[in-house]
Structure 1
Amino acid sequence: MNRPIRNVAIAAIVMVIALLANATWIQVFRADELRNDTRNSRVLLDEYSRQRGLIVAADGTVIAESIPTDSRFKYLRKYPTNPSAFAPVTGYFSFVYRADRGIEAAEDAVLNGNDDRLFTQRFMDMFSGRDPRGGNVVTTIDPKLQRVAYRELANADCDGPCRGAVVAMEPSSGKILAMASTPSYDPNTIATQDFEKAEAAWKELTADESHSPLVNRAIGSLYPPGSTFKVVSTATALTNGLGPGTRLTADARWKLPDSDATLSNDSGSTCPGSSNGTVTLTQAFEYSCNTAFAQLLSEKMPGDKVDEFTSTAKDFGVGDDPASIPLSVVKSSVGDIGSDLAALGQSAIGQRDVRLTVLQNAMIAATIANGGVRMQPYMVDKLQTADLRTIATTSPTTVNRPLSAAEATTITDMMIKSEQNTRGAQSGIASKTGTAEHSDVAQGGETPYAWYIAFSPSSNSRIAVAVMVENGAQGQNAYGGVVAAPIGRAVMNAYTGGAR
C-alpha cells in the first residue's frame, strides 16, 4: 500500500473511532442528562404515550393517576382526591413543567416505567403487544389524617391565608402519616394539557416566591424552633449527669455569660413556683422559663458545654445531612456557636441561629415517644409493577439512640406537665410549645412563629406531631399554645379517637 492510500485509511479509521467514541459518550454517559433535559420534548411525548403509574395512600386511595384522552397525548395526569391537601405529597407531572416536587419527582423513574426493577414488566408488555406502563408507588400517608391536617391548618386563625405545616409520624417505625403545607395548590391546574392555562396557573403560583404555595413548608423551609428546642436542651443535660431536680435561676432576666446582653422570660416575670430564687429543671420545662435554660447549658453543664449541646442535637438529627424520604429535605442546624457561651444560652431556647424543618421537630418528638430511639422517617411503603407485584418495600430503620429509655421517660413526664400548662390542655398528651422570634424587629411587634410538638405517652405511642404556623392573627400574642396547639391536638385525636 502506497503512502497516500495508507494515510487516507488511517484518517478514515481515526474518524470512525472518533464517531464511535462520540456516539458512546452521548448514548451511554450523557443519556440520563439528555433524557431529563427540559427541552427534550421527545422524551415527554414518549412518557405521555404510556400510562404513568399510580400514587396511592396507605389504604389504597388513589391520589395520582393517568387517564386516557382523545388528544395527541394518550394520557392525562390527574389528582382526583383532595388535590390541594395532597399536593405536598404528590407534587405534579406536567408536559410544560415536567415531574417536579413530591413523589412525582422523587419516584419518577418508577412511575414512568424506566426503573431497572421494572425490566420484566417492560419485557412482558412488549412481548404481549401491550403499551408500556409505569409502576405504582404506595405511600405511608393516612388519607383521613392528611385531610384533617390540611383542613385544620388552612382554617386556623391566621392573618390572611395560613402559612404553615403539619407533620405526623408513627414513632415506632418512622412512617410519615401526614404532611400538610399551606397555602397549597391544585396540581391539576399545572398538569392540564391546555398549556396556556398551565402557564397562567404557574405564573399565579410563583408570583410571590417567598409565600409561594409550591413551597413544601414541612421539609423545604427552616424556622427557629423557639422553646420546643428545650426538649433537646433537656436531653443534653440529662445525658451529662444533671437531673430533673437540678436547681436553676428563676429570675425574670438573666445576664448571659461573657456578654452585656440579657435574656428574659417570655412573660417578663420570674419563673412560677420558685423557692429562694430558683426552680427545678422540671419546673423550668413545665413553665418554659428561658433564663433557667440559658443558665442550664451555659453554666450548669459539665465538660465542653458547646460540644455536648451540638453533639446531642446531632444525635437527634439536627446538623446531619438528611436522608431522602424519598423527598429531599433541607438540612436543620444549630448554627455556628463556636466557644461563645452567650450564643449557647440563646441557642438553648431555640433562638439565635437554630433552624429546623417541621419534619425535624416531628422527629424529635417521635424519638422521645419511642423511648429515646430515633427512626429514619419515610413516606414510601412499597413500589409495585402495574400488575401490583411488589418490587421493593421500605423496612423501618433505627438510626441511633440519643438518650436512654429512662431519660426519655423523664422528658415525657416534663412534657405532660407542659401540656397541662398550655391553653386548652388535654389529658393523654405530652407536648411542648414554642413561640419563636425570627427577625430584628423584636421591639417593633413581629408575629412570632407558633410551634407545637406532641405525642400520646403510652407503652405503644402511635403518633407524634409537629405544627408550625408563621402568621397567627394575634400578632405578638400568636403563641404556640394559642395558634399551633389546637391544630396538633385535632390531628392526634383524628388518629387516636381522642377528645373532639
Structure 2
Amino acid sequence: MNKPIRAVSIFCMFLFLALMANATYLQFFKADDLNDDGRNARVTAASFSRERGLILVGDSPVARSEPVDDRYKYLRVYPGRKVYAPITGYLQLGAQTGIERSQNAVLSGEDSRLFVNRLVDLLKGDTNQGGNVVLTLDADAQKAAYSSLRDTVGPEGEGAVVAIQPKTGRILAMASYPSYDPNELASHDRETREKAYDRLSDDDHQPLLNRAIQTRLFPGSTFKIVTAAAAIEAGLYNADDRIPSGATWQAPGTRGENNVIDNEGRGGCSPKEISFATAMGQSCNTAFAKMAVEVGPERLRETAEAFGFNEEYLRDLGPQARSVFPEEVVDRVDGEARDPRELNDAETARAGFGQFDVQATPLQMAMVVAAIANRGALMRPYLVQEVQTSTFDVLETTEPDKLRDAISPQTAAQVTDLMVATVDDGTASAAAIPGVSVAGKTGTAQRGVEGKAPYGWFTSFAPAEDAEVAVAVMIQEAPGRSISGGRLGGPIAKAVMEAVLEK
C-alpha cells in the first residue's frame, strides 16, 4: 500500500471512529436529555400516539386522553378548563407545562416505577399506558377560590389564591386569574393552537402565568405577621404588651417627606404607646416600623428565611419565583457600585411592614400563616398526592415533609391570638365565620409608582385553635374597585375556608 492510499485509509478510519463515538454519545449518554427536551418532536409525537395517564382531583379527571381518528391516536382533553389550567398546564406538540411537564415520566408511562406495567403490556401486545397522578387539591376549595377571585377582580383584573393544609403542607387550592382554556393549546390542528398561543402570550394580563407561584409583589402589612413573630421570638415583646407607636415616625438620620411613615389615617395608631393587639388589629405602620428597627435587619431576615423567604421549596410544579427578603444593599455613587452593606434603619423600618425590597408570592404568604397555624412548624408544600398505575394501583404516596420549626409553639400561639383579635375587632373582620374562630391579617401594599393602585393581600387560617386550612389572597389588579386587602381579599379567603370546613 503506497503512502497516499494509507493516509486516506487512516483518515477514513478516524471518520468511522468519530461517527461511532457520536452515535454512542447521542444514543447512550445524551439519550435521557434528548428524550426530555421539549423540542424533540419525535418523542412528543410518540406521546400523542399512546394513552397518557389521568390527572385526578379526587376521583374526577382534570386531564385525560381521548382516542381520535387522525395521525395521532389520542387527544389530550382538560375538563377542568380555566379553573385548573395553571396547575395541569397543557400537553402540546413540542411543549409541556405544569403538572403535564413535571410529572411527564409518570403520565407518559416512562417512569421506572411503571416498568412492570410496561413489561406486561409488551407481553400482552397492548399499547403502553401512562400512570395516573392524583393531586392534593380539594375540588370545592379550588372552585371557590377561582370563582370568588374572578368575581371580585372583574374581567380585567389579576390575582391569585393559595390554600394549604397546615399540618401536612398539602395544597388544597391554587387559583390564578386570568386563566386560559388548555384545550385550545392541546389541539392537533396547528393553526388552532398557534392562534390560541399567540393570543394568550400577547395578552397584557398574562393568562399563561401562574400568579400563585410565579408572581412576587410587596406583601405589605401581611408581612407584619413575620415582624411580630421575630419580636416575640427575640423576647422583646409579648402579645399582651404595650408597644411604641405614634401618628408618624421617621428613622433617625433620614430627611424628607418620602421617609416619613404614617398610618394612613388610622387614628387608633396615633398614641405614643398602644397595645400589641391594637397595632396588629389596626395595622399600625409606625408601630411595626419601630419594632422592625428594634429587632434589627439580621434577626428579621433570619425569621423571614425560617418561613421560606430566599428559598425554593415546591418540588412538583414550576417554575417558582423565589420570595425575597433583601440580603444586602448596593449603593451607587456616580454610577459606581459601592461595597454591599446591611439595611439601614429607614430600610429596615419599611421592610418591617412589607415594603422596601421585600417581595413575596401568594404561596409564600400562605406558608407563613400555615406555619403559625401549625404551632410554628413549616411543612413543605406539595401538589402530588399519589402516583398510580393506569389501573389505579397506588405506586407512591407523598408523605408530609417538615422543613423546620420557623418559630416556637409559644410564639406561634401569641401571634395566633393577635390575628384572631384582628378578625374579631380589627381590619380582617370580612373573613369572620359564625361559630368558627378565624385568625387573619390584611395587607395593602404601595407599589412605589405614583398614580397606581396598591396591591391587596389577605392571609388567614381556621379554626384558629386547630387549623384545617390556611389561605393567602393576592389582588394585583381590580379596575374600577378601591383596592383594600380586607375589603376584597377577606370574602375570598372566607369562601375558601368555608369550602374546606364544611366537609
State if a TM-score over 0.5 links the two structures.
Answer: yes
| Residues 474 and 241 of structure 1, relative CA distance in 2, 3 Å threshold | farther
User: 5+ unaligned residues in a row in structure 1: which ranges?
Assistant: none
TM-aligned CA deviation for residue 268 of structure 1: 5.5
Determine the structure 2 residue equivalent to 1:114: 110
TM-aligned CA deviation for residue 463 of structure 1: 0.5
Determine the structure 1 residue equivalent to 2:131: 135
TM-aligned CA deviation for residue 25 of structure 1: 1.3
TM-aligned CA deviation for residue 37 of structure 1: 4.3
The answer to whether the 8 Å contact 2:90/2:96 transfers is: yes
- The answer to whether residue 317 in structure 2 is matched with residue 326 in structure 1 is yes
The answer to whether the 8 Å contact 2:161/2:362 transfers is: yes
TM-aligned CA deviation for residue 6 of structure 1: 7.0
Counterpart code for 2:459: I
Counterpart code for 2:439: A
| Residues 183 and 425 of structure 1, relative CA distance in 2, 3 Å threshold | closer
Match of 2:401 among 397, 406, 419: 397
The answer to whether the 8 Å contact 1:165/1:218 transfers is: yes
Match of 2:494 among 489, 493, 497: 489
Mean CA deviation greater in 457-466 or 391-400: 457-466
Counterpart code for 2:86: P
TM-aligned CA deviation for residue 15 of structure 1: 3.7
TM-aligned CA deviation for residue 152 of structure 1: 0.5
CA distance in structure 2 between the partners assigned to 1:389 and 1:160 by the alignment: 42
Question: Percent identity at matched positions?
Answer: 39
TM-aligned CA deviation for residue 13 of structure 1: 4.8
- The answer to whether residue 14 in structure 2 is matched with residue 19 in structure 1 is no
Determine the structure 2 residue equivalent to 1:94: 92
- The answer to whether residue 159 in structure 2 is matched with residue 164 in structure 1 is yes
Counterpart code for 1:103: I
Determine the structure 2 residue equivalent to 1:46: 46
TM-aligned CA deviation for residue 253 of structure 1: 1.0
CA distance in structure 2 between the partners assigned to 1:83 and 1:159 by the alignment: 18
Determine the structure 1 residue equivalent to 2:77: 78
- The answer to whether residue 379 in structure 2 is matched with residue 372 in structure 1 is no
- The answer to whether residue 476 in structure 2 is matched with residue 470 in structure 1 is yes
Determine the structure 1 residue equivalent to 2:223: 229
Match of 1:434 among 437, 443, 466: 443
TM-aligned CA deviation for residue 250 of structure 1: 2.9
Mean CA deviation greater in 424-433 or 343-352: 424-433
CA distance in structure 2 between the partners assigned to 1:474 and 1:38 by the alignment: 41
Q: How many residues of Structure 1 are paired with residues of Structure 2 in the alignment?
A: 481
CA distance in structure 1 between the partners assigned to 2:267 and 2:466 by the alignment: 38
The answer to whether the 8 Å contact 2:266/2:282 transfers is: no
Q: Report matched runs for 1:95-494 at 5 Å.
A: 95=93, 97-100=94-97, 102-156=98-152, 158=153, 160-208=155-203, 210-243=204-237, 244-260=239-255, 261-267=259-265, 269=267, 271=269, 274=271, 277-298=272-293, 300-301=294-295, 305-335=296-326, 336=328, 338-420=342-424, 421-422=426-427, 423-424=429-430, 426-427=432-433, 428-441=437-450, 444=451, 446-473=452-479, 477-494=482-499
CA distance in structure 1 between the partners assigned to 2:397 and 2:431 by the alignment: 39
TM-aligned CA deviation for residue 246 of structure 1: 4.3
| Residues 323 and 184 of structure 1, relative CA distance in 2, 3 Å threshold | closer
CA distance in structure 2 between the partners assigned to 1:164 and 1:435 by the alignment: 14
TM-aligned CA deviation for residue 328 of structure 1: 3.0
SS at match of 2:230: helix
The answer to whether the 8 Å contact 1:84/1:186 transfers is: yes
Counterpart code for 1:61: S
The answer to whether the 8 Å contact 1:50/1:75 transfers is: yes
CA distance in structure 1 between the partners assigned to 2:319 and 2:202 by the alignment: 23
CA distance in structure 1 between the partners assigned to 2:379 and 2:73 by the alignment: 42
Residue by residue over 1:143-184, the C-alpha shift from the partner in whole angstroms, topping out at 9 and shown as x without a partner, is 11111111101111x364331001011000000011001011
Residue by residue over 1:448-498, the C-alpha shift from the partner in whole angstroms, topping out at 9 and shown as x without a partner, is 1111100014443110000011123465x4110111111000110111129
TM-aligned CA deviation for residue 230 of structure 1: 0.4
SS at match of 2:156: coil
The answer to whether the 8 Å contact 1:227/1:350 transfers is: yes
TM-aligned CA deviation for residue 125 of structure 1: 1.1
SS at match of 1:488: helix
The answer to whether the 8 Å contact 1:248/1:295 transfers is: no
Counterpart code for 1:146: Q
Counterpart code for 1:448: P
Mean CA deviation greater in 231-240 or 258-267: 258-267
CA distance in structure 2 between the partners assigned to 1:160 and 1:4 by the alignment: 77
CA distance in structure 1 between the partners assigned to 2:205 and 2:479 by the alignment: 17
What's the TM-score once normalised by structure 2's chain length? 0.91
The answer to whether the 8 Å contact 1:159/1:471 transfers is: no
Aligned-CA RMSD value:
2.1
Counterpart code for 2:18: A
CA distance in structure 2 between the partners assigned to 1:425 and 1:185 by the alignment: 29
The answer to whether the 8 Å contact 1:190/1:198 transfers is: yes
User: 5+ unaligned residues in a row in structure 2: which ranges?
Assistant: 330-341
